[in-house]
Amino acid sequence: MNRFAFNCPNSQCSSQKLEEVMVDVTVTSEVTVIGGEEVLQYGKQTNLDGYVVRYQCMKCGQHIANNEDELFKSKALSPNEKENSR
Ligand SMILES: [Zn+2]
């Protein structure tokens, strides 16, 4: 499958970072340090279950799509020429 680049459609923003938002996720983290200034420090994290509710711009929060199908139809994506020429 071809690769795509994300460009935020918000003209005030221009971010190229897209994020996926999930809900109903169970997160488990290894506790690596107990006590001290930060009280608890964490190591490896695991996410279980959950489902995607939307894709949005990581910087301004602009809503892009509700699922993968909509994401790939979005005008915020354009062919990533650099990656596709490899
Ligand atoms: Zn944005």
Each residue of 2-22: pLDDT tens digit?
899 999 999 999 999 999 999
User: In the prediction, which pLDDT does 1 show?
Assistant: 84
Q: What is the average pLDDT across 38-56?
A: 95
Distance 58 CA to ligand 1 centre (A): 7
pTM, full prediction: 0.78
Name residues with Cβ closer than 5 Å to ligand 1, which is an ion.
8, 10, 13, 15, 57, 59-60, 62
Distance 59 CA to ligand 1 centre (A): 5
Cβ atoms of residues 50 and 58 within 8 Å: no
DSSP letter at 39 equals S
User: In the prediction, which pLDDT does 81 show?
Assistant: 84
Distance 8 CA to ligand 1 centre (A): 5
pLDDT at 35 over 80: yes
User: In the prediction, which pLDDT does 62 show?
Assistant: 97
User: In the prediction, which pLDDT does 79 show?
Assistant: 92
What is the spatial distance between Cα 70 and Cα 72, in angstroms, rounded to a whole number?
6
Q: What angle do CA 64, 67, 72 make, to 5 degrees?
A: 70
